[in-house]
Amino acid sequence: MRETFEPDTDHGGTDHPDGRGVRYLEWSYDPDPSDTSVVTEYALLFRQADGQIAARHETHRTGLFDRATWLKLLKDAGFQVERVVEETEEDRTPRDIFIGRLP
């Protein structure tokens, strides 16, 4: 959501006992604050059981809208909307969760 979006990075991965594994890097940012989208770049490394490595990269562009727009669109679609603010102990702004119910 526009009001709470913060650029971010994340990384991680896991290994399987047979030697397969995966590692990822995720990088989210807003290249144009005047529009309604953000970009997330994903870099992925896959290790096969035989040790071969494959690398992949993906770019995802997703919508970024303000709270009022989300609420209007959900209501216009016929939902009764409840807004719940996330509880978090992370060092960031809590996010909104919208619960939409059809009457």
The string of pLDDT tens digits covering residues 72-96 is 999 999 999 999 999 999 888 888 9
Please report, as a single letter, which amino acid is at residue 101: R
pLDDT value, residue 83? 93
State pLDDT tens for residues 51-60. 999 999 999 9
Q: So what CATH class is 1-65?
A: mainly beta
pLDDT digit string (tens) for 30-52?
A: 999 999 999 999 999 999 999 99
pLDDT at residue 37 in the model: 97
The full set of domain ranges for the chain reads 1-65, 66-103
Residue where the block lists tokens 């994903």: 42
* Closest C-alpha among 16, 17, 4 to residue 96: 4
SS3 22: strand
Q: Which residues fall within 8 angstroms of residue 73, CB to CB, at 6 or more apart?
A: 65
